[in-house]
Each structure stands twice: as structure tokens, then as C-alpha cells.
Amino acid sequence: MTNRWKLVLAGLVAAATPAVGQQDTGYVLGPEDQIELTVYGHPDMTVKTRVRSDGTITVPVIGPVRATGRSPGELSDAVAEQLRKEGVIQRPVVSVDVAAFNSKTVTVLGALNTPGVYALDHPYSLSAVVARAGGIRPDGSDRIVLRRTNGTPVYSVDLATLATDKSTDVMLSAGDTVFVPPAELFFVYGQVSAPGSYPMVSGMTLRQALARAGGPTLAGTEKKVVLYRQGKEVGQADLSAPVAKGDTLFVRERSF
């Protein structure tokens, strides 16, 4: 697909590295997340661990501490408070870094450059995840489909609208699936510069479809373009009409 809108991944904060006095990114920990907990000045208490299925981690000396439902910053504060209460360290300085974001992911499928499973390490919008997956491939549709995990209806939006209308750029939740289907095709042959099959773009007219194939050759003419739709000859093409899936344009030779 040519002239594709470029989505810009912007306005997202840097990776989560909260500590005492640092700004928290708002990421909420969940089971299977991997974290690194550091108690400054006490290297023996530094631990790399996984959040267990019961929502806790084990901290040296003080034992289990609830991690799920807390941001890294909130967890660091909770550990520091526990160290103070139990008299282990009078003025502890604790930080929690997320080493692997495993509890909250979205699945990105279809005609994108790098489909896969992506961590929601920050609040991500639909456009941000499409950009993170490398954008849509040339053989992809300009329509993006979002299937939610919460049972709400499937959401579908075209790329141009997503790029220009902020209200359509919805935020994603853990477990969501983003899918870009292959592009619907139209066909152009006869007296054109580059006959073949081409992906449709929303709002494309038959004239634009003809131009996509390089336009008529010197032996062809726009006045002799025949449209075939759903396997049947429609007749002389109205080039201002929109393209439909599977349309075939045949450019006849001009009469000299």
C-alpha cells in the first residue's frame, strides 16, 4: 500500500525504573512479572525475583510482601516501611525495577512488520502498539481490528481515521488482540503501464485504482475502461465511483 500514514509513537514515558524520590510510571505489578529489588548500602538484600501466583515476593530478612496491585514505586515504599517497622534498617532506601513485564501483554497479529506479543509496560494506545509493531506491511489492509478481553464488541477503525481523530485512538488493556487483515485486492490489466493486482485503500476511486497501475499506455485510453465486478461485466467504468473488493478494470486499446 502506498502513501501509508505514518504513526508516531509519542507522549509515552520512559521505561519503568521507580525508586524513592523518582516518578512512578503507573505500571501495576501482577503474577509472573520479574523484578529486581535493591536496598541501597545493603547488597546482601538485593534480590531478583518473580511475583508468585499468590501475588507476593519474598524479601530477605522480612519475608513475604504483597506485590500485585502495587506499582513498583508503591512496592518499594512498602518494603522500606516494613524494614523500618521491624527495625532492620532505620532509614532504608529501596528501589524496584521491572526486569520482565509478563503479567500484562497484548497480542499483535496479521499484516504488520513485527507481529508478536508486546508488554504493556506503560499505558499504550492502539496507534502506539501498531507503531511499536513496525507499522502495517504493504500487503496489509488499512483497517485495524481490536478484540477486547472484557467481552465488549470488536472495535474496527481505518488507519487514516486513527491517525487524524484522537477520539478513535483507544487505550489497550491486558489480553487485548490487535489484528490487521490482508488488504482486499483489485485488478487492472490491458493497456496499462503496470498491470496486476493491488491492495485497496479506504475511499479509493476507480480512477485512483487506474492510476495505481500506472495509468493507460499510449495505446490505451480512459474512455475505454471496462469494469468487471463479482465476475460480471458491468460496462464502461465510472472512474469517479469507489472501488469494490475484487473489482477488475480492463483498459482497451484506443481507436486510431
Alpha-carbon distance 134 to 78, whole Å? 38
DSSP 169-226: -PBP-TT-EEEEPBPPEEEEEESBSS-EEEE--TT-BHHHHHHHTT-B-TTEEEEEEE
Closest CA to 120 of 158, 171, 76: 171
Q: Which CATH class is domain 105-180?
A: alpha beta
Read off the pLDDT of each residue in 187-191 and give the average, rounded to a whole number.
95
Q: Which numeric CATH code is attached to 185-253?
A: 3.10.560.10
Mean pLDDT in residue range 93-107: 92
- CA pair distance 15, 53, nearest whole angstrom: 24
pTM (2 d.p.): 0.67
Distance separating alpha carbons of residues 175 and 158, to the nearest angstrom: 22
Beta bridge partners of 248: 187, 228
Element (H, E) at 232: strand 232-236
Domain chopping of the chain, boundaries: 34-100, 105-180, 185-253
Predicted pLDDT at 22: 37
pLDDT at 246 exceeding the cut of 60: yes
Please give the pLDDT value at position 14: 27
Higher pLDDT, 228 or 121: 228
State residue 254's pLDDT score: 82
The DSSP line for 58-105 is EETTTEEEE-TTS-HHHHHHHHHHHHHHTTS-SS--EEEEEEE--SSE
Average pLDDT over residues 95-116: 93
Rg over CA atoms, the chain = 27
Give the architecture-level CATH label for domain 34-100: 2-Layer Sandwich (3.30)
201: pLDDT strictly greater than 70: yes
Tell me the average pLDDT across 121-141: 92
- Categorize the per-residue pLDDT at 155 as very low, low, confident or very high, splitting at 50, 70 and 90: very high
Segment 118-130 mean pLDDT: 91
Whole-number percent of the chain with pLDDT over 90: 67
How many other CB atoms are there within 10 angstroms of residue 105's CB atom?
Answer: 17
Residue 23 pLDDT more than 50? no
Cβ atoms of 1 and 183 within 8 Å: the answer is yes
Report DSSP state, residue 44.
G
- The domains spanning 34-100 and 185-253 adopt the same CATH topology: no
The span from the CA of 159 to the CA of 178, in Å, is: 13
Q: Which strands make up the sheet holding 177-180, listed edge to edge?
A: 116-119, 105-110, 177-180, 143-147, 155-158
Q: What is the pLDDT of residue 122?
A: 84
